[in-house]
Amino acid sequence: MRVWLLILCSGCVSTSELPDWKILKSVGKQQVILHCTPLDASVFLDGVEQGICSDFAEKSKSLKVLQGQRKLEVSKPGFEKWTNWIDAGGTQVTLQVSLVSQEGL
């Protein structure tokens, strides 16, 4: 039983241990609308690909996020990855994400 408990807790993170990214807070299930440049950038929630930004550009097609702290990432080859933490809740949030090209770096 101890081994199982250690495995369950190995992924647990307190707010104080999270990186210094902005944390968006609310309560309940959250709808996230993404307005991205470029539109075809990939969207990841807790490391799992959800689709591309244009899939979540309207309220009717918003990304549904269950309650709790979630890692949201937007990426595309040739651009710097965008990462944010969401403390998901019962609200709707619209995020403007502009990826920065890596050309010339």
Domains of the chain: 26-98 (2.60.40)
Which carries the bigger pLDDT value, residue 71 or residue 7? 71
State the first-to-last Cα distance of the chain, in angstroms, to the nearest integer.
Answer: 50
- Over 90: is that where the pLDDT of 4 sits? no
The total of other beta-carbon atoms located within 10 Å of residue 34's CB is: 26
Contact between 60 and 83 under an 8 Å Cβ cutoff? The reply is no
Environment class of 15 (CB within 10 Å of its CB; exposed 0-12, middle 13-18, buried 19+):
exposed
- Over 50: is that where the pLDDT of 7 sits? no
Mean pLDDT of all residues in 47-68: 91
- Over 80: is that where the pLDDT of 1 sits? no
Torsions phi, psi for 29 (to 5 deg): -90, 135
**How would residue 37 be classed by pLDDT, with cut points 50, 70 and 90?**
very high
The total of other beta-carbon atoms located within 10 Å of residue 85's CB is: 19
**How would residue 19 be classed by pLDDT, with cut points 50, 70 and 90?**
very low
| pLDDT at residue 104 in the model | 58
